[in-house]
Amino acid sequence: MNFALYGYGPPNKREWIVVDVGVTFPGPDLPGVDLVLPDTRWPAFPGAVVYRGQIQLKPPQIIQLLSGHLYVNLASASLPRGELRGQIIPAYPAQLDATLNGRAAVPPNGSARQANASFVLTGSYLFHAIALDADFGARTIAAFGPARHPSPPHSPVFTLDTTASVVIPEWGIPGQPGAPGQILSSGALMLTDRQTAQLKCGKLFLNISTEQYPRGELRGQILPADDDADGIPDYVESLIEQLRPHAPKRGPH
């Protein structure tokens, strides 16, 4: 962990804010870097006015906030409906998965193949891994959206780079999708704020095109991992559990 201390106000009446920030580990886009530290320069520009305060959130509001479903809107006298607007995007790691098959393709097809993909989103940095049969011959693997769209639009939201691939051994690869003998391809990319929001809200799907099915042989929606199927992503439940006040330890009777 790392933190920054900021003071503001006159010297004889100064107030202080401690901002606790985290560190992260780099991906393949930063070779030779061991640790990524946050930019603790704040405010972002000289002369900025800082507003601070606190509010009490109800459990449904906490879930919405941690799920990235809320945004901040700043209204001004000239633009009372809002001059500045931005989505509140949590920066903690979020696990997402996609199961692809021919039945979900548009149009559906009789392909007997399947594919599984996993994603880890930290802020706007997306790590991806997808497992395919060794003889699959995928032409493109790309994400499209929104998921309700009947067929992939002309331009994908983002395309997965699958040049880094390994054969999954007979004992598998812990924490990664796929079965022994399949090809596991992985990589990483940076997303825009809009792409990040779409991904975390489950609005994107993954589409794999082949020579036989140029519009898509396999397709599957990218959804936050939800092992207990209660409608709340696992990473949100984990954070809520961390935020629960711990019961005080009982002393000896």
Question: Per residue in 94-105, pLDDT tens?
Answer: 889 999 999 999
Same domain assignment for residues 24 and 100:
no
Task: Note whether residue 247 is domain-resident.
Answer: no
193: left (phi over 0), alpha (psi -120 to 50) or beta: alpha
Q: Is the pLDDT of residue 47 over 60?
A: no
**Domain annotation covers residue 239:** no
Q: Is residue 63 part of a domain?
A: no
- Residue 176: half-sphere exposure toward Cβ, Cα within 13 Å: 24
Domain assignment present for residue 78? The answer is: no
Q: Whole-angstrom Cα distance, residue 115 to residue 222?
A: 12
What does the angle CA 153 – CA 104 – CA 158 come to, to the nearest 5 degrees?
A: 35
Q: Please check whether residue 44 lies inside any domain of the structure.
A: yes
Largest Cα separation within the chain, whole Å, is 75
Q: Select from 94, 97, 95, 106 the least CA-distant residue to 208.
A: 106
If one counts the domains in the chain, the total is 2
In which domain, by residue range, is 189 found?
94-233
The closest alpha carbon to 222, from 156, 139, 169, 165, belongs to 156
Residue 244 in any domain: the answer is no
The per-residue pLDDT for 176 is: 87
**What CATH number does residue 143 fall under?**
2.60.40
Same domain, 229 and 150: yes
User: Could you tell me if 121 and 191 lie in one domain?
Assistant: yes
Do the beta carbons of residue 132 and residue 115 sit within 8 Å? Answer: yes
Q: What rounded mean pLDDT belongs to the chain?
A: 79
Q: What pTM did the predictor assign? A: 0.61
182 within 8 A of 202, measured Cβ to Cβ: no
* 118 and 203 share one domain: yes
The confidence score (pLDDT) of residue 22 equals 61
